[in-house]
Amino acid sequence: MSLLSRGICRGLLVAGATLLATSAFAQMEIKVIAPAAPGGGWDQTARSIQQALIAEKLVKNAQVINIAGAGGTVGLAQFVNGAKGDGNQLMVNGFVMVGAILMNKSPVSLSQITPIARITEETQVMVVPANSPIKTAKDLAELVKKDVAKVTFAGGSAGGVDHIMAALFVGAAGADASKVNYVAFSGGGESLAAILGGKVTAGISGYGEYEGQIKAGKLRAIGVTSPQRLPNADVPTFKELSIDLVLTNWRSVFGAPGISDAQKKTLAELVDKLVKSNSWKDILKQKGWDDAYLPGEPFAKFLADEQTRVGNVMKTVGLVK
């Protein structure tokens, strides 16, 4: 066989393998579990995954299922008990669930499901209503120092990144972090209504979730948790205000418990194609999320380290004993 013929054959084999992989995905009907109410970060992530999978024709169909409650641990329990061996399901979770498992003394854990990849990272923001007398994060820190009980923070689930951020802010302001007055909401829509309605002093979430309200002038952003200022956002970092608070909220996807190595490989390849697609890159820009793709074993190691780190932070600020 000539070199040219060999080259053509090799090319056909590669093309054939790619086609087989693509057609295998194309027949998949994926369920994306968002273990939270509609409107929050996990729900937005799940719906963004659904949108990109369909736009890129990577799967036949993608359905989002919301299961709210207890910082995602209700959804986690259902996933552990009801999805065993199902290679057509992905669950969105992340930093929030690591803390919620500890806070809620959850009988199920992340070790019971199959890590696939970390996919995004997001800077946190603290906001107040536009008509609030609080103009800066330093103003809020002074109020906290004066009487921690009178300052209420709204955010996502108890023990999640928003709760931890509130406790860290209180501690950085010089008050007792274990006495943080935090009001947990299971969905972003509910917490936003509480902030806009003046039911709480300040709100905490990922910057992307409140960006529209900030730019519309309905919310005032008083600080972000990134080490440097965000591009296209005129909001000071806590660091530049001499408030020791740097934090990012990561999100990931897991497969069901008890899936085979072949099923895990298929899901990993599907997520790899997803995060490298133009549709996904466009979504990251729209949402203000950072690409934090970390697959396979490196993600499993990161997860183990993060569980230790989050547990230590939560003990330090008095959220768990």
Tell me: the pLDDT tens digits for 124-183?
999 999 999 999 999 999 999 999 999 999 998 777 889 899 999 999 999 998 899 999
3-state secondary structure of 70: helix
Q: Do 318 and 168 meet the contact criterion of CB atoms below 8 Å apart? A: no
Mean per-residue pLDDT over the chain, rounded: 89
Better-predicted residue by pLDDT, 261 or 19: 261
pTM of the full predicted structure? 0.76
So what's the pLDDT on residue 59?
A: 94
Q: Does domain 3-120+249-316 have CATH number 3.40.190.150?
A: yes
Geometric angle at alpha carbon 14, from 11 and 20, rounded to 5°: 135
How far apart CA 221 and CA 176 sit, in angstroms, is: 24
So what's the pLDDT on residue 160?
A: 81
DSSP string, 102-125: HHTT-SS-GGGSEEEEEEEEEEEE
3-state secondary structure of 100: helix
Q: Considering only CA atoms, which of 168, 136, 304 is closest in space to residue 244?
A: 168
The model's pLDDT over 268-316, given as tens digits with 9 standing for 90+, comes to 999 999 999 999 999 998 888 899 999 999 999 999 998 998 888 888 7
How far apart CA 28 and CA 159 sit, in angstroms, is: 35
Residue 10, pLDDT above cutoff 60? no
Q: How confident is the model at residue 187 (pLDDT cuts 50, 70, 90)?
A: low
Residue 4, pLDDT above cutoff 60? no
So what's the pLDDT on residue 317?
A: 77
The model's pLDDT over 109-122, given as tens digits with 9 standing for 90+, comes to 999 999 999 999 98
Helical residues (DSSP H) of the chain, grouped into ranges? 3-26, 41-55, 73-82, 95-103, 137-146, 161-172, 188-196, 207-215, 261-275, 278-287, 296-316
DSSP 8-state symbol, 303: H
Residue 96, pLDDT above cutoff 90? no
CATH homologous superfamily for 123-248? Periplasmic binding protein-like II (3.40.190.10)
Write down how long the chain is.
Answer: 321
Q: Where are the domains of the chain?
A: 3-120+249-316, 123-248
Half-sphere exposure (Cβ direction) of 49: Cα atoms closer than 13 Å: 31
User: Could you tell me the CA-to-CA distances from 181 to 123, 175, 210 in Å, in that order?
Assistant: 22, 12, 21
Q: Do 226 and 123 meet the contact criterion of CB atoms below 8 Å apart? A: yes
From 17-26, 50-59, 73-82, 207-216, the region with the lowest mean pLDDT: 17-26
123-248 matches 3-120+249-316 in CATH topology? yes
How far apart CA 227 and CA 44 sit, in angstroms, is: 25
The model's pLDDT over 17-68, given as tens digits with 9 standing for 90+, comes to 444 445 566 788 999 999 998 887 899 999 999 999 999 999 999 999 999 9
So what's the pLDDT on residue 18?
A: 47
